[in-house]
Structure 1
């Protein structure tokens, strides 16, 4: 035992000797960590190049060899390792993509094999992005026939940089198609105008790039005309889609011919959308109409032509002739041009002297199908059943409003053309829960193209969730109060992973109050809704996702939320019967309190009565109120 004590004492002495060896003879502390300080770029430097070089100085108190780790980032609290175990006190960024006009932070860690020391964190601001190119020719909103050369001013390159240009051209604003990349410093590009479509408006833009950052010029536009053709005559009056008295003067702009030839004008006017009746050929830029029918819409346009037969058409414009009835009920423009959104209403101006209005909506122009009569409001909510369309058959509709004065006098609006919005997103907000659902138009109906995922009733009341049992003791019975479940057991071989994120929706009990589970404006499908859908889409597989063997041309995306039973066995892990889920989609529908479900197979539809309430759980798919 004495020997053991002596050994322990010796160990303590050695440890103590080691500890105090960090002090010199005078008791001063001896530094074991290296020192490191940054040199360049200096702290808060501006205009640093996209491939900067960094320098620092470091020393070790015991002359041990040092290695360095280099860190950099856009957040001083989150610097990332860019290089490690450097042997030199400098480092150049070559592969790192420095963004322009950004503040960067950097530091260095010095290591001697035993200890390490972090430098201070310094920052620098990178050089600005290249200037936006200044376009010089052609000007915007011009006519182009043959010669077409885009020109712009050179962009100054930074030190050690070169500037390249991308020329973009297209029918959208801004354009997205790159038609040329110029690396030789040129500031012009010749376009083959013969490849452009006559009568179309094109947009062009130039991007300047230093290979890392881009800057874009303004967007300019031009219209392509025929070779040798006069300029396009622009409609002046009457204003498009307004009401005018009979004998109206049609007015347009005088145009010039590129060869200086004299220009004459053919005037086309009738009741067709694309008028085909030549009513006059004149040499001035106006024409007075005669003998037009009251309460009729007319369309007109002008063709400017020269003696050589070259010609250019104006846009088509329209007006309605006002008779002796009330004022003109001008229909307002739609939020998106020529598209009636799902929750948008048809709105028109109040007509002086009008006591009521009739609304016509049809696929013919002028529309003859009356959808509302003798209404006093100046707006009308168009029903889904009045504008049947789907993604495979998007129809154009025409709307007309007739103002009535109660004494037999009537005045028609100008008919407006529109297509119904075909798809969109509905945001369902329930107190603290906010969920987005995609929807799609299917014939006369609008269906959500995703299964319900809510955990609440419409008023925000929480639904009761099934707690996953740890054994065969299953919590769901006919008298249970649990109403939904969303823990689909994953992974399942051969099954898509969407169940992991709840993208396929949740499953619900038949006792979920169907009148209160849907948000305002939507409802759980009734038997009549399902019959309407099945009659419109008789091939059930056309609603199913491809995973089920369907084709889904409508984008309905009918998928299984789950087919959950009230017992466990080898074929029903967590109560889900996977073999069923592979071959069909199953949903609840609202049928006067009965526990009815309906299923979509690749080759048929089927409905059945669940029988015992509450013991199985299926998904819910909603349909929009008409």
Structure 2
């Protein structure tokens, strides 16, 4: 009986005890360092002068939990150059700086027991030196969009956001520089907010920007130049495409693997390119815009992701249509559902969906052949001042090609890149 009791106790001990979970390893990642001095966005007038242009400043910070070593990183904001980082096991270090110069600084805390390091906040200060009264603003922090950020193309607009600071707290305005050059041009002068809304952007384009802060004493400081990229626009052939420059939507059509606009281009660039047939807004809605050859090759009239077709591209289209449809190959491009074509509109069946309409032309002060002929520029030059164009006639089932002086204004159809 006694041995049975002992056996029962042993069995209960074996199956009744649960295994303890292992204790997770301790995280020795250093905590974030709290900075003390030089104070944020203030003038530093302390330190030991060692020359007319130099003095020493003692940087101080609080010790951080788990930290064994600290790295001090200082940047000269006037030159944009970082000083050689300084390492210490203490919570202060003396550094020689240039007087009357803005700086930024931060601390990186590390530990031999962790592969992780922790960066403190970044503080700016002005190393004034004795007797210095007026301070230029600190270089502006560019907040959004972030450096090298990729912006979705469908967004179409961008908002710039930045932060300015000044020891004297007397920033009055900002000059904003923005464009596609890495030395961007002035976009907005004397802007009195630290945000700028609704700047137009185009797909597949890199933009650059900077901000100049100006204070009440006339002092200025430039930010660094930042950049961001607008992504490619998604074009699905057979579905409507909206031009991000002006919001106009076009039908698109696939013909033999090429994606074409199914309507005449209507881009005006704020009425600086092209002309309406008969100077009529009502006709523009049907005919689109007529353009000179100079505008075709020099004014970037094609929407992002598209281009004005070359002679070869239109010729290949023409040959494909002839091989497939025979002598009525021109009729396959002509609209047959509108009353825009004057009779007889020979062979029109629009089986391609190209939907060509008789938008005519403008030349030497005269609008002509509206309702009777469709002319379309290519981007291929012919001679010194002209280009090649294709055309469709109401009384023909074919496609014509010719060379024209650049003073003619024709319609434009674009093809996807």
Band of TM-score, shorter chain: 0.3 to 0.5
TM-score by length of 1: 0.28
TM-score by length of 2: 0.39
Bigger radius of gyration among the two: 1
* Greater relative CO, 1 or 2 (CA 8 Å, sep 6+): 2
